[in-house]
């Protein structure tokens, strides 16, 4: 850990005036001025000091500043967010002391190909397993296992479901991002942390379990291990990959989510601040007069639940769904741009099913929605295309990319396969003008949908059991497909 470089580069912060609560914009500017390696080292030190939970990618945002304030509070000092020279020295000493106590070392595991951090103080025994290598403490209380599973045997989403629904297991945190997941919780009176990535033809990852008495110290260790984890010795670590994506996405920092089109004679709300990492997408709709905007949603339960984008129902005083009238916004997930609506009216449509298998590169898809209603005024619109990538810009695994044409107002609509099963939730399109100015070429047919795994997990969190369409079902002609599912797709109206 290059704490010396951290100390030398940040020490001049002591010369800046201390305040009871420094303004966040001033702090963001200050930390942004530091070398990226320094920001990474600072985040790692805050991890070891049990003040920061996250990936040490050098993206020093408000959460990182709050971690600085947490550390200052732990010192019983004013939480200014601006470290003094003495505080940096104390932080470095604490981090080095804890890291040394763990005897933390990066280890390349030849059985799986992964690189993982090992707390050698606790795991001094190792033995091969069917799927990797098991590292344990002498008394067996601490267990760290590397994992390599062929995708031909089990998909990543199946493994995620197994770990989140296992009987007798209490999951405290879980996140699925299409090509990786993390699950933490308690089972058989032991805490566990699991991280797994789809890599080539395999699933690669690690799992660590430890007793309650180690929970405090091993909680911080698991975040450091996540930052350092490499699915392959030639690959970047999780933190390095995040750093590279952040550098790319900064070129499009002013891009906005695709806003729904305004209804006739009305003004759409101001676009929201983008939540990184987001793809460089098309800008907001042109404003009109009033305070109404529109998008699309689709039925996901027979009780009247509709799924749409979070940005479709942002800043809405009232939300309506098609012919069903007023709807309640049950929940908005801004990070993954999903929202759940509920209508009280009786719905006659059948909830859409989700595909039994994930989207496949080159698979034919259709986008259904209500684009530009103030201009087209022709009801449901259907376009055809293909899945062109299984990730978004910069490899963002929350998204898939498709070529079916979309316009403002398509946001929140379903992307379906030829069997009418959901493969994604339409969310955005590439801003061709912005990208052309950045790379010198005009992109074509680059649109994005939220991956179905994220939508499924989101619905499951709200107690909605989705139905699955067997892959063996015969593909339908376009007109047959539309006739079968069109009653489940509705216009969403947002009144500010």
Q: How many Å apart are CA 65 and CA 51, to the nearest integer?
A: 10
For 120, list phi and psi in degrees, rounded to 5.
-60, -25
Question: What pLDDT is stored for residue 147 in this prediction?
Answer: 94
| Token duo for residue 299 | 């039925």
**Which candidate, 226, 179, 202, places its Cα nearest to that of 111?**
202
Q: How many Å apart are CA 410 and CA 380, to the nearest integer?
A: 10
For 172, list phi and psi in degrees, rounded to 5.
-100, -25
- Classify the phi-psi angles of 85: left when phi > 0, otherwise alpha if psi is within -120 to 50, otherwise beta: alpha
Pairing relationship of beta strands 338-343 and 305-308 according to DSSP bridges: antiparallel
**Which candidate, 376, 341, 480, 375, places its Cα nearest to that of 419?**
480
Burial of 150 (0-12, 13-18, 19+ CB in 10 A): exposed
For 311, list phi and psi in degrees, rounded to 5.
-70, -15
Q: How many Å apart are CA 414 and CA 486, to the nearest integer?
A: 11
Question: What pLDDT is stored for residue 377 in this prediction?
Answer: 55
* Residue 193 CA from chain centroid, whole number: 18
- The DSSP output letter for 50 is T
**Which candidate, 119, 117, 88, places its Cα nearest to that of 101?**
119
Question: What pLDDT is stored for residue 424 in this prediction?
Answer: 93
The DSSP H or E segment spanning 453 is: helix 452-461
Question: What pLDDT is stored for residue 415 in this prediction?
Answer: 95
Question: What pLDDT is stored for residue 430 in this prediction?
Answer: 58
- pTM for this structure? 0.51
Give the pLDDT of the chain (496 residues) as one tens digit per residue. Answer: 444 445 444 444 444 444 445 567 788 888 887 878 788 889 999 999 889 888 888 888 888 999 999 999 999 999 988 888 788 888 988 888 888 888 899 999 999 999 999 999 888 889 999 989 999 988 888 999 999 999 888 889 889 999 998 888 999 988 888 889 999 999 988 999 999 999 988 999 999 999 888 887 788 888 899 999 999 988 888 888 776 544 433 333 333 334 333 333 322 222 222 333 333 333 322 233 357 788 899 999 999 999 999 989 988 888 999 888 889 999 998 878 899 999 988 887 899 999 877 788 889 999 999 887 655 555 788 999 999 888 776 667 778 889 898 888 889 999 999 999 999 999 876 544 444 344 444 445 778 899 888 888 888 888 888 888 776 667 888 888 999 999 999 999 888 7
Cβ-Cβ contacts under 8 Å for 140 (sequence gap 6 or more): none
Q: How many Å apart are CA 267 and CA 24, to the nearest integer?
A: 31
Question: What pLDDT is stored for residue 409 in this prediction?
Answer: 85
Burial of 75 (0-12, 13-18, 19+ CB in 10 A): middle
**Which candidate, 321, 323, 318, 293, places its Cα nearest to that of 305?**
321
The strands making up 143-150's β-sheet, listed across from edge to edge, are 125-128, 133-136, 143-150, 202-211, 190-199, 180-187, 169-176
Question: What pLDDT is stored for residue 99 in this prediction?
Answer: 86
The sign of the dihedral angle between the CA atoms of 9, 107, 212, 185 is: positive
User: Angle formed by the axes of helices 238-249 and 215-228, to 10°?
Assistant: 60
Q: How many Å apart are CA 459 and CA 85, to the nearest integer?
A: 48
């Amino acid at each position: 850990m290059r704490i010396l470089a951290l100390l030398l580069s940040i020490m001049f912060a002591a010369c800046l005036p201390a305040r009871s609560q420094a303004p966040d914009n001033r702090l963001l500017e200050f930390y942004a001025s530091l070398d990226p390696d320094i920001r990474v080292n600072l985040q790692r030190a805050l991890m070891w000091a049990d003040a920061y939970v996250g990936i040490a990618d050098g993206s020093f945002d408000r959460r990182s500043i709050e971690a600085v304030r947490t550390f200052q509070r732990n010192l019983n000092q004013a939480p200014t967010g601006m470290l003094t020279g003495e505080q940096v020295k104390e932080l470095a000493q604490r981090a080095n002391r804890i890291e040394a106590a763990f005897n933390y070392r990066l280890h390349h595991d030849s059985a799986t190909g992964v690189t993982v951090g090992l707390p050698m103080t606790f795991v001094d025994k190792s033995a091969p397993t069917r799927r990797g290598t098991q590292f344990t403490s002498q008394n067996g209380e601490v267990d760290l296992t590397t994992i390599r599973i062929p995708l031909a045997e089990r998909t990543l989403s199946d493994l995620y479901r197994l770990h989140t629904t296992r009987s007798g297991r209490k999951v405290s945190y879980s996140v699925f991002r299409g090509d990786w997941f993390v699950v933490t919780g308690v089972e058989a009176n032991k805490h566990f942390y699991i991280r797994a990535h789809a890599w080539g033809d395999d699933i690669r990852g690690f799992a660590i379990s430890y007793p309650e008495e180690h929970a405090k110290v091993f909680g911080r260790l698991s975040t450091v291990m996540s930052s350092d984890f490499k699915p392959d010795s030639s690959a970047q670590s999780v933190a390095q990959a995040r750093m590279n994506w952040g550098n790319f996405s900064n070129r499009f920092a002013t891009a906005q989510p695709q806003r729904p089109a305004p209804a006739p004679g009305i003004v759409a709300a101001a676009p929201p601040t983008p939540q990184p990492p987001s793809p460089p997408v098309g800008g907001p709709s042109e404003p009109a007069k009033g305070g109404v905007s529109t998008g699309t949603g689709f039925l996901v339960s027979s009780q009247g639940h509709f799924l749409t984008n979070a940005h479709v129902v942002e800043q809405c005083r009232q939300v309506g769904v098609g012919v069903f009238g007023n709807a309640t916004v049950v929940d908005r997930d801004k990070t993954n741009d999903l929202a759940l609506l509920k209508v009280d009216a009786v719905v006659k449509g059948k909830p859409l099913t989700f595909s039994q298998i994930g989207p496949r590169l080159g698979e034919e898809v259709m986008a259904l929605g209500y684009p530009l209603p103030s201009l087209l005024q022709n009801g449901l619109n259907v376009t055809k295309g293909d899945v062109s990538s299984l990730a978004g810009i910069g490899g963002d695994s929350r998204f898939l990319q498709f070529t079916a044409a979309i316009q403002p107002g398509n946001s929140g609509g379903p992307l379906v396969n030829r069997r009418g099963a959901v493969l994604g939730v339409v969310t955005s399109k590439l801003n061709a003008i912005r990208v052309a100015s950045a790379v010198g070429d005009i992109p074509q047919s680059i649109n994005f949908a939220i991956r179905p795994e994220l939508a499924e997990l989101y619905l499951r969190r709200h107690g909605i059991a989705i139905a699955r369409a067997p892959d063996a079902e015969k593909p339908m002609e376009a007109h047959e497909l539309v006739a079968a599912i069109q009653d489940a797709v509705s216009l969403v109206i947002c009144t500010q």
